[in-house]
A and B are shown apart, each in its own frame.
Chain A
């Protein structure tokens, strides 16, 4: 079974530029999550999708971050414009169950904003 795919793996941009990350979850997983992991901290949930719909985006900085999930499968996360504090690893995860089951993570995208 193929795992969660993410691209790119690494990205370096200047502040005020825009960037987009892509995620392809495990086939059949209805729930998709985007996490932000800043160095020295645990991953923090940015947004959760159930199929096409948003379940939780309470911690997404909506003035600069946006996310969508196309046809309930692939998802993109965009930052525009980027700030220095956006430097982090962005992890995508998917799961079959909404609660209580393991979330399966992709390898992440390491973003550096200079």
Chain B
């Protein structure tokens, strides 16, 4: 059974704090690692698709790194803002499984003004 774990489960920070979350996934049968942001009452929004070991991606104040050999990815948010409050999901894209994503349980971020 393929397992994807995210930590922490929830995080409460003050506006301006920088924060990071972890996604752990199997180091075998890797095709890609996806990050999504899901705000309450909205659609999950794709942040990054990462495929190569050592990949680093950036979108505004959010960045992510990937280590496929040890099976983890970090998501960083620099200078958190209240609008960053959301659940951040990672998903493991298994090679040969036709795009089936195995999701972690998510990290719920709350940023207080």
Interface string of B1-36 (1 = CB under 8 A from A): 000101000000000000000000000000110101
Closest-CB distance, B22 to chain A (whole angstroms): 14
**Tally of chain B residues near chain A (CB < 8 A):** 28
Q: Are A44 and B103 in contact (CB under 8 A)?
A: yes
Contacts A102-B49, A105-B44; is A42 near B98 (CB within 8 Å)?
no
Q: Are A99 and B31 in contact (CB under 8 A)?
A: yes
Interface string of B45-65 (1 = CB under 8 A from A): 110010100000000000000
> Taking chain A's interface residues, is the majority helix, strand, or loop, or is none over half, making it mixed?
loop
Contacts of B97 in A (CB 8 A): 56, 99
A98 to B97, CA, bound (A): 9
Q: Are A100 and B31 in contact (CB under 8 A)?
A: yes
From B42, B46, B99, B106, give the contact of A48 (CB < 8 A). Answer: B99
Closest-CB distance, A21 to chain B (whole angstroms): 15
Contacts A48-B99, A55-B98; is A42 near B89 (CB within 8 Å)?
yes
